[in-house]
Copies of this chain bind each other. A is one copy, B any other.
């Protein structure tokens, strides 16, 4: 334990606490009764709209957030560039079934795919191939066709419950430590999983070349949510590597109709009109950075942030306008209270998160720690997530020792019910302490588990403390995440105010704490033993995959 704490029993509002109770009252007052959080969010979502990395809208969002933070008195506000790739944006997309009957379908283009240059019409075909050999069977048959990309099974029943808050049972479960989980997020990406991903990457590259060569008119993907929701994704944004034909994602219900038409040997015809374009003015993307400087000489740093970029299906409200608005609101509250923190409080609004945490990873690399790139030239040319190793050893820079903690928000607009330690169990007494003045607003559950998939991972991966709060799930995963209804309409204002207040409280306490945050051991390359076991696993995985493929081919051949 790094700090003298009162017994846990004392930690409730009104009792003596290691947290600054006067400051907590001020933060509440500013955060609840003079909130700017919805105004900030409304600007990001309604006025700017979707903010796909390196789009003109994202440029505008970078500029606006920087100016806004400046106007609140933050210092050193700037845009921090990193190498990303091509920009992309779209204005509109329409897709109509024109035969055997007419119907307007509902679709949104795949990001980083070209527009149609006006309306194109074409017959529909199914492309049901998962190997390059299967692909060859379509040779010479696809010119001018519009393709359904795959033949999935029918739509199942919907989720029963689409909106929920954590109950005490769930919060209780979250508190259990689970040693079977890897120590860091990188642990999830085993060599076997990478191998599968590489296979799929290689097939997709062959597929793309094939589609271009065969002069396909356009391709259609199925939304990964049912119930009329269009859930989007993107293709490669890397220069010289972008998808060759117009591509659109449509509702599952529309996709299934087209599948059944093809099953019945009808010949559906479609009209596609997609206005989309690449932007090659700059290949850098930008993180918005600003600070409340610390009063210590050569101060340590506490950070807060969330990703500013979004997908293009709607306005990126719960993913992740809310995380940005709460991070901005937290520093606005502290600035409005004219805090004089010992440590510097720095806000970072990341870009390129949706394409693989690019902004935060580049920032961590620039500021805190580097890792060697693959020696093999071919491997180095692949997207980073396909490199065999994340790069060992981690080499730290001077600022590495100066960063105390990074708090991230990126799990929708649900209120903060507690916090995940990411397995850094030593922080538990501190967090318990800091939740003290807010226990009427939150259950303050401390979970030893980790929550993955977003920018705190970039810190955690190099051994720096990066945390996220336990948020009520609401309808984030069931219907909003990356879908066309991720608009400000589904954000819960009271929850955002609560989150802003607790975020401000945690930032303040972290900035004033006597010592730097405790850390997990710095990650190191897997041991020889572990490497050997992983090699065996990868081999087994490959054999299984090949056997499954042979079985699938048999099934096709015999029609069973």
Which residue numbers of A lie inside 8 Å of B, CB to CB?
A: 42, 46-49, 57, 91-94, 96, 100-104, 106, 108, 154-155, 157-164, 226-230, 251-253, 256-257, 260-261, 264, 314-315, 475, 479, 483-485, 487-490, 492
Contact = CB atoms under 8 A, between A and B. Distances in A.
A260 B46 contact: yes
Contacts of A162: 158-162
Contact of A104 (B42, B92, B487): B92
A229 B229 CA distance: 9
A164 B160 contact: yes
28 contacts: A46-B261, A48-B101, A49-B101, A91-B96, A91-B104, A92-B104, A93-B104, A94-B104, A106-B484, A155-B489, A155-B490, A158-B475, A158-B490, A161-B161, A226-B489, A227-B227, A227-B228, A227-B229, A228-B230, A228-B479, A228-B483, A252-B489, A253-B485, A253-B490, A256-B487, A257-B315, A257-B487, A260-B488
Contacts of A489: 154-155, 226, 252-253, 256
- Which residue among A57, A228, A492 has the maximum number of chain B CB atoms within 10 Å of its CB? A228
Given A228-B484, A253-B314, A257-B315, 14 more contacts: A46-B260, A92-B104, A106-B484, A158-B163, A159-B162, A160-B162, A160-B164, A161-B161, A161-B162, A228-B483, A228-B485, A256-B487, A256-B489, A260-B488
A102 B157 CA distance: 35
Contact of A253 (B106, B154, B487): B487
Contacts of A93: 104
A255 to B, nearest CB: 10
Copy total for this chain: 2
A164 B490 CA distance: 23
Contacts of A92: 96, 102-104
A475 B228 CA distance: 13
Contacts of A229: 227-228
Contacts of A163: 157-160
A536 to B, nearest CB: 43
A57 B103 CA distance: 12
A290 to B, nearest CB: 26
A143 to B, nearest CB: 26
A210 B355 CA distance: 52
A260 B226 contact: no
A260 B104 contact: no
Contact of A160 (B101, B161, B227): B161
Contacts of A102: 91-92
Q: Which 4 pairs between the two chains have the least Cβ-Cβ distance?
A: A91-B102, A228-B485, A155-B489, A92-B104
Contacts of A57: 101
A164 B484 CA distance: 25
Given A160-B161, A253-B487, A253-B489, A94 B94 contact: yes
Contacts of A49: 101, 103
A228 B257 CA distance: 19
A14 B18 CA distance: 73
A493 to B, nearest CB: 10
Contacts of A228: 227-230, 479, 483-485
